[in-house]
Chain A
């Protein structure tokens, strides 16, 4: 249990998807104009990450990894399908996003309308594929750990996008130099937020 809390907290603060790895920057920069839409997108990302990572974990350990197919028949012990992982992961992500879209449309049309185009865009949000690939690289030992990592990364991404959206709402009233307006200042603010988040880096969990 303690281990799970560690993974969760670590993926929120220390290995934050945005500030430490720049994953999901495109939608982060494009959607962070108001707090309301960013909250919706952030929640959707948490949801998709929390569901995709366990599925990818199962895929990785029961189909793709070297020797993972032994449960099917012992003769398949030396089959290594790991080169297929990109294509399998992206297929899982695309279908999960499709599923989320259908569920949200069915049960909460108002949320569906407010998210609009951003829901399908989650499929190309690098944070999701990045999360899957990091999970593969760090070799988590159980599906519960993978889920904790997924949820933690999602929450970290959520915090980052809501934070920048709040700052951007306020900065509209200040006098930014003309060439920096919009994109430029957002980059620099994100950099400064990243420096702030770096204070968590020394913490060993």
Chain B
């Protein structure tokens, strides 16, 4: 009988670790940008969206991985969408029940988790060909990598755009406004999210040169 692989072998840990840097879903795989950027004006909705994506992704990865032998390849996209949509409906209902104001702020973007390419992409590329436990780790890892970028972008946009952190008026308490500093209103507007991500990509690739694209 084949020896069982330990639950947290190096291979499995790498599934969890890689998406945080070398194969980050947003900055390297270019997945899931759609619903990510518009919610990053404030830290709170971004954290909520990141947690929702982790939940949806972990569960749908496991479900698809369990079903992987019985899904006919021709209709797999619709099966995947159904699994994801069911999970998203659950998350949406939970948010509306327990965090109504955040759910209002996120508006259509909770629903848009369904078409978040990161989920479809990982289901196609990983869950369809792997066992449930690695699929679970892959889901959590990728969703965490996605959430990490979301939170970094939201941190800078909220700090520079409104001078607050998690709605706590940091700059006002530090007395920075008395020196003549004013909030940069541009940071709140949508285009700055793109430019912030562009700069994150720049920094990441400057530190990690093997990610640089060929000309």
Task: Mark A residues whose CB is within 8 Å of B.
Answer: 19-26, 29-30, 83-87, 90-91, 94, 120, 123-126, 128-130, 133-134, 137, 172, 177-188, 190-195, 198
Contact = CB atoms under 8 A, between A and B. Distances in A.
A87 B80 CA distance: 12
B32 A187 contact: no
- How big is the B interface, by class? 35 or more
Nearest to A129: B115
B121 to A, nearest CB: 9
26 contacts: A19-B190, A21-B38, A21-B190, A22-B37, A22-B193, A25-B34, A26-B34, A30-B30, A84-B89, A85-B111, A86-B88, A87-B86, A87-B89, A90-B115, A94-B77, A94-B78, A124-B81, A126-B117, A130-B108, A179-B203, A179-B206, A184-B201, A184-B205, A191-B192, A192-B195, A198-B191
Interface string B61-96: 000000000000000011001100110110011000
Contacts of A19: 190-191
Contact of A126 (B34, B78, B82, B195): B34
B30 A126 contact: no
Contacts of B203: 179
Contact of A187 (B93, B115, B194): B194
B89 A192 contact: no
Interface string B1-40: 0000000000000000000000000010011111111100
A134 B30 CA distance: 24
B198 A180 contact: yes
A139 B206 CA distance: 47
Contacts of A86: 85, 88-89, 92, 111, 114
Nearest to B215: A181
A195 B78 contact: no
A26 B203 CA distance: 21
Contacts of A134: 108
Contacts of A123: 77, 81
Most B-side CB within 10 Å, residue of A24, A83, A125, A184: A184
B105 interface: no
